[in-house]
A and B are shown apart, each in its own frame.
Chain A
Amino acid sequence: MSVLVYTENWEGKFKKLTFELVSYASEIAKMVNSSVTAVSIGKVDETELRKLGNYGAAKIISIENNHLSTLDNQAYAIVLGEIAQKETASVIVLSNNNTGKAVAPRLSVRLKAGIGSGVSKLPLSIIPFTLYKRTYSGNAFAHVVIKSEIKILTLAQNSFSLIETGSSATIVKMDIPVDSYLIKTKVNDVHKQTGRILLTDADVVVSGGRGMKSPDNWAPLVELASVLGGATACSRPVSDEGWRPHEEHTGQTGKIIAPNLYIAVGISGATQHLAGISSSRYIVAINTDKDAPIFEAAQYGIVGDAMKVLPKLVTAVKELKK
């Protein structure tokens, strides 16, 4: 028996989210009295793989199959399904990111395994296997019982703390052949954004709404994000207007994020916006309207004009970093 965790890599490197996943899987392994097997697909060198041991993986299966260099949902599900059976996995953990959302449902049907998606906490109980899950875009939470023998969980990014165990893992190289006719996704072109912190990875996010008034006013907001080492985001009307790129749109119909700190500037706090940010650890609101609903979601607030407040915040952070 094992708890299987799929550890995605980005150009051969793991990210914080990978270690969150392994930490989460290890805690589950303790609950079900078993051990963690991590599965890595793609070229990852041994030093990098070893890092997974430090978060509790007992065994690491590394598959360097060239066929699998681009994500083909079907092929990945076949490979993970096969390993799950080999390792007699009782629980399978993936990230709730694009890859996890692409593969988990296919795996579910392959293994007849129920899914708990986007979880942010450990199961409430093991018998029955009960999860705590966000529903109605954060307006309600549900206890979900998974009845199948194998359970699949997708973990929300930034929702689980890293737990270092100091232990090490055995690395097993494996080749799972997949018939090439089954790999049908052809990637014709790739556009990568480089040099910036990804919104979904950022610990600090500074986000602007319609209250920023004009796309020309963004400089102090971008600067605040930059001095805080964070990323920038925006509300939907802002990206709809083309003031900011679509990748920055957060909310129910945009990205769902959970940074440690979310600073909402000139954002009213509509439920659809909150749906994308309400899992943030701390929310700060800066708004001219003291009755704006965003203040109900925020722990810290400043009632004031963004254009006056932002430069002062930038100065204060720079002072602090001196």
Chain B
Amino acid sequence: MKILVCISNVPDTTTKIKFTEGNRSIDTAGIQWVINPWDELSLTRALELKDDPANGIKSVTVAHVGPGSSEPTIRKALAIGADDGIRINSESADAYYVAAQLAEVIKKEHFDIVLCGIESSDFNGSMVGGMISEYLGIPSVSAVSGIKIENGQPILIREIDGGKEVVSVPAPFVAIVQKGIAKEPRIAAMRGIMMTRTKPVKVFEPVAAEPLTEITIFEKPAPRTACKFIDAENPAQLIELLQNEAKVI
């Protein structure tokens, strides 16, 4: 079985977000780019599956839609342990556009399991994975918090409201993964870093696809009102305020 992990790069989660003139886009100056945390965990789980030969995973590939300047993101994934990379040479316009590009590549290269993160920490869209599966007309399982292979059959755990289900779907399929899929992201070891230069990265040109959404302007979140402090000796006053001022209890 071949696994594809779709990765996006996002500003490091502690980045203070600033905008460019006119608030039309994010000011990328000084931003530290990292692999989207969910995608990093997907990659980790894919590599864990491959580590056990009994699972029969032939290869783990990463794919990313981005211009040449985002190549370090792919190299980082290769250093962590992916076998090869795919870059679709385009800025990402919106989720619909990005999913169209990834679907096209999956059609050409054939993967059995496609892993996507539940959301990217930049646009918080939760869309790309599901869109890819519909473009390809293959099953998708969402909110996946676990994946294993049993007798050659992928078994998934998906979160439902108030519980979990153990599900199976025939390959090829897209799994949209979230918390629980892997414990800690795998970190690149020296050997991995040395190896990246020898690992292939295929570059594809984008196919025509029309974005359906467009961000016109950004805003800062509204500032919260200042915190009202209550004496630790008299916490009953807090309950009184919550009842009569905030009216939430």
Contacts and interface: CB of A to CB of B under 8 A. Distances in A.
A134 B143 contact: no
A73 B160 CA distance: 13
Given A184-B139, A260-B248, A190 B124 contact: no
Interface in A100-150: 101-110, 112-118, 130, 133-148
B58 interface: no
Given A204-B248, A316-B239, A115 B127 contact: yes
A101 B118 contact: yes
Contact of B13 (A70, A271, A308): A271
A73 B141 contact: yes
A239 to B, nearest CB: 9
Contact of B134 (A109, A145, A193): A109
B170 to A, nearest CB: 6
Which among B128, B212, B241 has the greatest number of chain A C-beta atoms within 10 A?
B212
A248 to B, nearest CB: 11
Interface footprint category on A? 35 or more
Contacts, number: 278
Interface string B223-249: 011011111100110111111001011
B126 A281 contact: no
Interface in A138-169: 138-148, 154
B180 interface: yes
A246 B241 CA distance: 32
Given A144-B214, A261-B246, A302-B238, A72 B118 contact: no
Interface of B: 11, 13-17, 19, 26, 37-38, 94-96, 99, 118, 121-131, 133-135, 137-143, 155, 158-170, 173, 176, 179-180, 183, 211-221, 224-225, 227-232, 235-236, 238-243, 246, 248-249
Nearest to A246: B180
Nearest to A281: B248
**Interface pairs A-B: 10 shortest CB-CB:** A105-B130, A304-B232, A114-B212, A102-B142, A109-B134, A316-B236, A192-B163, A189-B166, A106-B134, A316-B239
A272 interface: yes
A301 B228 contact: yes
Given A104-B127, A191-B163, A191-B164, 5 more contacts: A105-B130, A113-B212, A136-B122, A204-B249, A275-B13
Contacts of B121: 136-137, 252, 275
B130 A312 contact: no
A44 interface: no
B227 A295 contact: yes
A320 B242 CA distance: 11
Contacts of A77: 134
Contact of A184 (B125, B160, B163, B169): B169
A254 B96 contact: no
A137 B156 CA distance: 27
Given A117-B124, A313-B239, A109 B166 contact: no
A101 B142 contact: yes
A192 B169 CA distance: 21
A252 B36 CA distance: 11
Given A98-B143, A101-B142, A296-B227, A186 B167 contact: yes
